[in-house]
Chains A and B, each alone.
Chain A
């Protein structure tokens, strides 16, 4: 029998209007959390404490109890049998240096690939195109670079949308270095054949090893206007260089000769891998039919009205091997609109303004309370 999740994944990602999405997504999420509830005792205990069971009726997805994604940094939560786990995903540990550990089984992995392919395919209008990859081809790497293996693994899903893969970095004494002649020759070939292509890579790899060296040399490669630069993985590794989105977009536009709107940041996170959110060129992202975003007030935890900022919660039925259907992140953002875009695509549009910084380690803020002289009775 086809599950509600698989059914949802078979639909075009931005095809369901609000009412339809609520109906199908709610069904799939209910099915997903019922599976988690039955097969993950710790999750069942937690859900029971929330007074929520899979049979509990709800009017809105925001009523489903949500776990903080950070919990996966502290606990190993597996749904089903440990033997079914084929991979443990580890996040980059961006906020606290402690990585999340997310167990993946084959069902989850397949769903992740379907979801990612679905959005990428939609992005490129159903056609695959060559990718220039801002990384070193693993077979050409000189050393045993563990980071490289991890990067390539994290990139693999995106490569489903590639008709050809050209790695444009070389490994020179264990340091990535841009192969400018390869890049220029490949681009010339694509131009001559009239083949549209894209550049893809981790945000920091794209900037540090491609954009920055070209920009510093004042080189403009004059890519065709329809070329996209897709980057993902977050901005943490660029913080030290104070590289903002605006700087990256401006410099990328200058060295590639493409509109800044063709530089697209793809948002996603390990705890719901597979669901990706490319922006529209203006920093606004859209949820596909298999995911929804809710923005919560950090103090009351209630959903805030559209347009107001708060903590982002994402709901998706994809996770099968861990209870990650409803997760609250430390990312801050807001819902821009629930209306379809000018391209007719449905889904909730949202934007992210950043990640909650780790609280400063507190020092001694010793002071007295207002009721200092309401001395309590001595209970010694």
Chain B
């Protein structure tokens, strides 16, 4: 067993772009686990509003153009973190997740109109986060929710971008927030409840040790990775939170296809959902169902959407692609050029594929490749859905409520407006993650 220590006690032991295997290693997790549990005792003394306050202030600081991490944030595409950490978002997230009263994270509180009893959300203990490697900011999202619930946290970092999270945490540990009363609160109170480690994926002993200390196991990743984590032995009572592979799609009804202008507005919003993370998130749309029967036909929408996606891609060009991605996308382009219609630019940066005869959910191709599917009626779509479909972005006018009812009954978990599909909100994958990170207790 070899545990590479990337962050602990407020210090990072790896450069931002460093190799995690070069970080100092130990053969036991125990001291780290004890250390963050001690840190957690101090974290528990902070109120939820203080935790939110320091996160909000740190987020504002991170947005300074001369912040030491400004370049890192820009180059690694993590600019959303300071936006997500803002007070309004965090307060809403916490309130939604703990029955409308986030103060129940601090003390016994009355919830709803039951005055005879009080309720308190206690932290579960130690949360171990297994983070997927394809999007470097996952760890922060997962961790922030672990801190908002006052848990001790161990992040098992992916090998790619392993130094990013330690760098942000070190910056937070040095940050101090002054309350309105002028009292200084150090970010180190938060980061002392956190360790970031790296273990080789073949190191089963280390994986087992991680699982053994977890009160909550959070697993992000593909099916193989998630199943491997879930199959590790765990203690009785350990909670599992799985963010596994899912796919998402969009639906455009005739309500938004009466003119090219109408269709174009939807197309531009959809393009933003596609461009965000280059479709690597399970909330990213890969298919868009377009209803027949209005003046803009499905193939007409495909062309309009191609224009919108091309414009969006020009503003935010694709930065990286693997050779295998290129071949896969070129195959889709050629196949749809021949069997249907395909719209794309000169480079590999975006693709819209259309076939009059295909109405199924196409397998994702990723990297800004979208399949436009014609349907006679938007209510033909729900039977295509399952628990593997996560988000359905809707632009269907007044029929939204009825369609959402049908879609969610089939397994879909979110039905935001097209343009808002990429937002990380709660519930997510059918749950309020924060709610799963606490243990509900009652008094009276």
Contact = CB atoms under 8 A, between A and B. Distances in A.
A71 B337 contact: no
A299 B313 CA distance: 13
Contacts of B226: 363
Contacts of B221: 363-364
B423 A368 contact: yes
B184 to A, nearest CB: 29
Given A358-B324, A359-B324, A380-B417, A301 B335 contact: no
Nearest to A311: B323
Interface residues of B, number: 72
B80 A367 contact: yes
A74 B397 contact: no
A368 B83 contact: yes
Interface string B73-93: 000010110011000000000
A256 B320 CA distance: 45
Interface in B105-142: 132, 134-135, 137-138, 141
A361 B80 CA distance: 25
A313 to B, nearest CB: 11
Contacts of B339: 42, 75
B353 to A, nearest CB: 13
B282 A364 contact: yes
B149 interface: no
A336 interface: no
Interface in B197-226: 220-226
Contacts of B77: 370
A361 to B, nearest CB: 5
A380 B396 contact: yes
B266 A299 contact: no
A69 to B, nearest CB: 8
B417 A379 contact: yes
A359 B328 contact: yes
Contacts of A93: none
A332 B397 CA distance: 49
A363 B84 CA distance: 22
A377 B326 CA distance: 34
A299 B349 CA distance: 7
A299 B281 contact: no
A246 interface: no
Q: Which of B132, B397, B429 has the most CB of A within 10 A?
A: B132
A46 interface: yes
B400 interface: yes
A377 B428 CA distance: 22
Given A364-B245, A367-B281, A299 B318 contact: yes
A42 B83 CA distance: 49
Given A74-B335, A299-B321, 20 more contacts: A42-B339, A46-B338, A70-B328, A74-B331, A298-B323, A298-B325, A300-B348, A362-B134, A363-B226, A363-B243, A366-B282, A367-B424, A368-B83, A370-B79, A371-B276, A375-B420, A376-B417, A376-B420, A379-B419, A380-B400
A63 B401 CA distance: 51
A379 B428 contact: no
Contacts of A68: 327, 330-331, 334
B419 A362 contact: no
B138 A369 contact: no
Nearest to A368: B80
A93 B79 CA distance: 41
Interface string A66-88: 01101101110000000000000
Interface in A321-380: 328-330, 332, 356-373, 375-380
Contacts of A370: 77, 79-80, 83
A49 B344 CA distance: 11
A70 B327 contact: yes
Nearest to B265: A379
A356 B324 contact: yes
Contacts of A359: 322, 324-325, 328, 366
B428 A366 contact: yes
A299 B347 CA distance: 6
B179 to A, nearest CB: 25
For the complex, would chain B's binding face be called helix, strand, loop or mixed by DSSP majority?
Answer: mixed
A245 interface: no
A45 interface: yes
15 contacts: A49-B337, A68-B331, A300-B346, A330-B327, A361-B224, A362-B280, A362-B366, A363-B222, A363-B225, A366-B141, A368-B80, A372-B80, A379-B265, A379-B395, A380-B395
A68 to B, nearest CB: 4
A296 B338 CA distance: 23
Interface size class of A (residues with CB under 8 A): 35 or more
Nearest to A379: B395
A364 B327 contact: no
Nearest to A73: B331
B418 interface: yes
B256 interface: yes
B138 A300 contact: no
B103 interface: no
Top 3 closest pairs, chain A to chain B, by CB: A376-B419, A363-B222, A356-B323
A43 B339 CA distance: 11
Contacts of A46: 334, 337-338
A332 B135 contact: no
Contacts of B338: 42-43, 45-46, 75
A354 B238 CA distance: 44
Nearest to A374: B272
B113 to A, nearest CB: 31
Interface string B386-402: 00000000111100100
Nearest to B424: A368
Interface in B397-444: 397, 400, 417-420, 422-424, 428-429
Contact of A376 (B141, B225, B272, B348): B272
A329 B326 CA distance: 10
Contact of A361 (B223, B331, B347, B420): B223
Nearest to B325: A359
Given A68-B327, A369-B276, A379 B321 contact: no
A22 B365 CA distance: 36
Q: Which of B77, B222, B223 has the most CB of A within 10 A?
A: B222
Q: Which of B132, B326, B394 has the most CB of A within 10 A?
A: B326
A73 B330 CA distance: 13
Contacts of B281: 364-367
Given A328-B327, A330-B327, A380-B394, A366 B243 contact: yes
A330 B327 CA distance: 6
B159 interface: no
